[in-house]
Amino acid sequence: MAEADPELDALTAAFEAGDFARVRADAPRLIASAKDDTVKRTAEILLARTRPDPLAAALLAISAVLLVVLSAWWIAHSGKG
């Protein structure tokens, strides 16, 4: 069994507390400096779990494009009638 790592424990505590900014800032440093592969993999998993869902990001982008297109169409056709 791997030894306890205080940096990983702090990173896990930050993740559990919802401090994802700290996880995104500290995880890459821990991944680069950790000698234990288990610590590296755990930090990589925590970092991956703070990234936005790709489907949600794509749907947000599609919604923004749709809003712009529909707004432009409405503005272009609002004077006719």
Residue 72: pLDDT band with limits 50, 70, 90: very high
Give the tens place of pLDDT for each residue, 57-70.
Answer: 999 999 999 999 99
The H helix count followed by the E strand count for the chain is 4, 0
Give the tens place of pLDDT for each residue, 1-28.
Answer: 456 889 999 999 999 999 999 999 999 9
Please give the model's pTM, rounded to 2 decimal places: 0.69
Answer yes or no: is pLDDT of 50 > 80. yes
CA distance 8 to 27: 9
Domain boundaries, the chain: 1-50, 53-81
